[in-house]
Structure 1
Amino acid sequence: MAGLTVVAVNCTLKRSPEPSSTELLARQVLDELAGWNAHGELIRVVDYDVRPGVRADEGHGDEWPLLRKKIAAADILLVATPTWLGNMSSVAQRVLERLDAELSDTDDAGRPAMVGKVAIAAVVGNEDGAHKIIADLFQGLNDIGFTIPAQGGTYWNGAAMAGVDYRDLDDTPAAVARVNAAVARNAAHLARLLRDNRYQPYDDEARESAHRTSDRRRGWFADVGLPGF
């Protein structure tokens, strides 16, 4: 099984080394991905000086280009965020805003830079909001070009106003563990499919060239008498 590369961005508001429930859930998903030969690193975004903006590099000490380079080299992006006031963290929102620049970064076939990469999500909090957050994350990530796998989001919400954090639990809830496993399994499966079968070119000239190549290949199969041609 060919190896895959994963980058997980922890969008907690807490700087290292402060404990983070978001980091715990993200690491659990990374552990599951490792079982499918998908390995990578976990980045705590607030440890970097990521400037506001929608360009690939906002200059003046902006450290987003360091993170962007890692994301660009990965097959799978995991966005992990806490729940604040029922929404994703401001850090997660900033990650989406900075990724928006990738729409204008295209390859020779006109495909945006993130097309062909897989995105998954992990949300944690002691208040409701996970479903909305995952929906918002997936809409934004898909708009940028990422592909979302089946059941690609995992989450944990504690009881309302109970004040118990995910990292305070003695054990991982069985339901969360099952979903973590499904997220990893489906993400790795989809990433391998996309790596071996790229999306069609967006550019008309490149698309026509790809079609001509495909037609020639079909003609060769027919000439040698393979079934179905």
Structure 2
Amino acid sequence: MAPDASQGTDFSDLTAVVVNCTLKPSPALSHTQGLLDNAIAILEAQGVSVDVIRAVDFDIAPGVYPDMREDVPGGNRDSDDWPALADRILAADILLLGTPIWLGDKSSVATRVIERLYGLSGETNGRGQYLYYGRTGGVVVTGNEDGVKHVAMNVLYSLQHLGYTIPPNADAGWIGEAGPGPSYLDEGSGGPENDFTRRNTAFMTWNLLHTARWLKDGGGFPAGGNSRKEWDAGARFDHPNPEYRS
């Protein structure tokens, strides 16, 4: 009998949001979604509630303000779906962002999503910590050109900079033969059968589960020395005073 990967842990009260940053609007086939679906299957097998967003289906205005209809000095937009999407992302314990590779980098849609996430990064939670504290994040990357690790570095750096907790092995990806060639779900690509990708996807998803469990059980990311509100009020959390350095 195969070992129980959960080690008896109940994950059924956890929530996840999966943001697919493909350039293809629904219902077009998305190879990135094909790989994300494997992670979703693991999450749902553990009872996690999963909310899936295909970002390109929405009017996400460019910018770095929480609501581009209201917050832009001197030039508001007529429409912006981001505030409603942000509510869905903030409701989740786990954020899994998926992106294809274009010109060796993440998609323009992924860039826009991260920019809009950044627009909320200055806000704080009830502990005075940055808003994304207490949540965990990972990334899935697909393509038929090099760049999986480069994209993963960029996205995971961005998420941790905003306040997400990044577990070990928090990325998974698949690339076919360099140059024009089959994509992940194409017949004969070998993508769905690739053991390296399957292993990394499983490890990533389980590490997201474990990290989200620890954070939720702990009531969020530990408080202490990381409250923006306390810093602004004058606390320095044992940081040496530069005026007294020799």
TM category (shorter chain) comes to: 0.7 to 0.9
Count of residues paired in the alignment? 205
Alignment equivalent of 1:29, drawn from 39, 52, 55: 39
Match of residue 9, structure 1, among 19, 32, 41: 19
Deviations along 1:118-164, one digit per CA (max 9) or x if unpaired, are: 00100000000010000000111111110101101000011112411
What RMSD in Å do the two structures reach over aligned CA positions?
1.4
Question: Paired residue for 1:20?
Answer: 30
Amino acid in structure 2 at the alignment position of 1:200: A
Deviation string for 1:14-52 (max 9, x for gaps)?
111110101111111111122333221211101000000
Q: Confirm or deny that 1:46 pairs with 2:72.
A: no
Is residue 36–residue 188 contact of structure 1 (8 Å, CA) maintained in 2?
Answer: no
Structure 2 partner of 1:155:
173
Counterpart contact for 2:22–2:54, Cα < 8 Å:
yes
State the SS of the aligned residue for 2:62. Answer: coil
Partner of 2:203: 182
Q: Look up the SS of the partner of 1:95 in the other structure.
A: helix
Task: Give the conservation status (yes or no) of the 8 Å contact 2:145–2:179.
Answer: yes
- SS of equivalent to 1:185: helix
The one-character-per-residue Cα deviations of 1:72-117 (angstroms, maximum 9, x if unpaired) are 1000000000000000000000111000122221123211111110
Alignment of 1:147-226 (within 5 A): 147-170=165-188, 171-197=192-218, 198=220, 199-201=222-224, 202=227, 203-204=229-230
For the pair 1:133 / 2:156, whether they are aligned, the reply is no
The percent of aligned pairs where both chains have the same amino acid is 38
- Compute the displacement of 1:9 (Å): 0.5
Please give the alpha-carbon distance, in whole angstroms, between the structure 1 residues aligned to 2:98 and 2:83: 19
Q: Verify the 8 A CA contact 1:126 1:159 in the aligned structure 2.
A: yes
TM-score normalised by structure 1 residue count: 0.86
3-state SS in 2 of match to 1:167: coil
- Contact in 2 for aligned 1:11/1:79 (Cα 8 Å): yes
**Contact 1:27 1:42 (C-alpha < 8 Å) held by counterparts:** no
Structure 2: runs of 5 or more not aligned: 1-9, 70-77, 232-246
